[in-house]
Amino acid sequence: MRRRAILIVLDGVGAGAARDASGYGDADSHTLAHVADAVGGVRLPALERLGLGKAVPMRGMRSDLPAFGAWGTMHPASPGKDSTTGHWELAGLHLQRPFPTYPRGFPPDVVTAFSRATGRAVIGNVAGSGTDLIERFAGEHLATGAWIVYTSADSVFQVAAHEDVVPLAELYTACESARRLLVSPHNVSRVIARPFVGEPGSWRRTPNRRDFSLEPLGETLLDALTTAGIPRAGVGKVDDLFAGRGISSHHTADNQEGLERISAWLRGEGNPDVSHSGFLFANLVDFDQLYGHRNDVAGFYGALRQFDEALPDLLDGLRDGDLLAITADHGNDPTTPSTDHARERVPVLVAGRGIRPVNLGERATFSDLGATIADWFGLAFRGRGTSFLQEMMA
């Protein structure tokens, strides 16, 4: 039987503090509920129909309506709260130890090696919000051509450069050099190219960001699908998060383009054989990148509404043999003082013909979703998860 699965990650859309959130300073985080409170109650009818209000109580979201699919939440099991860790766990892979972080900047030997390898000096080397640091260092960067290097609470080595000062190709090459240099004990999860444009007082980052991730440290769902010969496609930054192993991806400028790409894949564009099987792994990053990290509550809610308005068309595009799963990779509560990711549970909503409305409960790991998708394709792979497919089947 032809089978397709679509996994959509709403980047940063957390569902309340995880059991160990206090150890990360995130005990008070609840991305969805706090956004709902801040805007006086959400109106997200399509997500409500899928059972989001049953999975995650929040102001404005009813929990007493019949659901169209299965609903629940999942706890993170791997240490950390970054996108790489979250996506790897969704794909069945747990970390044994968290990726290193650098709240006081990177050691001098790391910075010196990067500067020597790229032929440019380094300024910055601090932790903080990228937009704030570009505002702080952009003038010096324009005058000297030096890289603006910075990090955050996550395990990232970020390199910012003005597109009129450093060509994109040189920025990407520099980030590839950093990726090769950053080995244990400095094996950060991602090196991120952060190009920007503009003038003093009006700097703005461009859509030409690229992430250079570590290769997964064990077998993932993508590896199992590759071995089974099941086609895989990506939307957004997913290929970067897996270092391109087992998937290629169409990078998008924003969530709107991402939604259009998902819809096109569902319609079979690029593959006229409607009987084909395949897996689509999509990341919609605006929640996190544009709004969570900038504490923009109104923007965050606007992105939720945009997704909700697009969701009925995606559901209409499902055929027999299709499974649609919607989840997240971590939290990013825009109502807290922090601009960093939050250690949160994530929602899981599953729809498709033959999927019955059932409460999936609180799952112990994101990997249960990857195991379920593997089960949907008839694979033996389960990674570190437990499939809940049979709980949902009518």
CA torsion through residues 148, 153, 157, 162, sign: negative
Residues 109, 115, 121, CA angle at the centre, nearest 5°?
120
Helix (H) or strand (E) holding 9: strand 4-10
Report how far residue 388's alpha carbon sits from residue 361's, in angstroms, rounded to the nearest whole number. Answer: 10
CA distance 52 to 57: 8
Instruction: Identify whether the C-beta of residue 325 lies closer than 8 Å to the C-beta of residue 290.
Output: no
User: Which helix (H) or strand (E) element contains residue 191?
Assistant: strand 190-197
β partners of residue 250: 235
Q: Which domains does the chain have, with CATH numbers?
A: 4-96+214-392 (3.40.720.10), 108-206 (3.30.70.1250)
Grouping H, G, I as helix, E, B as strand and the rest as coil, residue 349 is strand
- Residue 323 CA to residue 355 CA, distance in Å, equals 8
Helix (H, G, I), strand (E, B) or coil at 119: coil
pLDDT value of residue 274:
43
Question: Max alpha carbon distance in the chain (Å)?
Answer: 65
Helix (H, G, I), strand (E, B), or coil: what is residue 250? Answer: strand
Residue pLDDT tens, the chain, 394 long: 689 999 999 999 999 999 999 999 999 999 999 999 999 999 999 999 999 999 999 999 999 999 999 999 999 999 999 999 999 999 999 999 999 999 999 999 999 999 999 999 999 999 998 889 999 999 999 999 999 999 998 899 999 999 999 999 999 999 999 999 999 999 999 999 999 999 998 999 998 999 998 999 999 999 999 999 999 999 999 999 999 999 999 999 999 999 999 999 999 876 545 447 899 999 999 999 999 999 999 999 999 999 999 999 999 999 999 999 999 999 999 999 999 999 999 999 999 999 999 999 999 999 999 999 999 999 999 999 999 999 999 7
User: How far apart (Å, rounded) are the C-alpha atoms in residues 258 and 271?
Assistant: 18
158 phi, psi to nearest 5 deg? -105, 135
The gap from C-alpha 157 to its chain's centroid, in whole angstroms, comes to 17
Cβ atoms of 341 and 80 closer than 8 Å: no
List C-alpha distances in Å: 304 to 5, 217, 283, 307, 310.
22, 33, 14, 5, 10
pTM metric for this prediction: 0.92
Residues 6+ apart with CB under 8 A from 101: 151, 153, 154, 155
Q: What is the pLDDT of residue 1?
A: 63
Residue 272, pLDDT score: 47
Q: Of 43, 30, 28, 32, whose CA–CA distance to 10 is shortest?
A: 32
Find where tokens 């089947």 sit.
393
The Cα-based distances of 378 to 272, 339, 371, 387, 389 in angstroms read 24, 41, 10, 11, 11
Q: Do strands 322-327 and 249-250 pair parallel, antiparallel, or not at all (unpaired)?
A: unpaired
**Per-residue pLDDT, 277:** 84
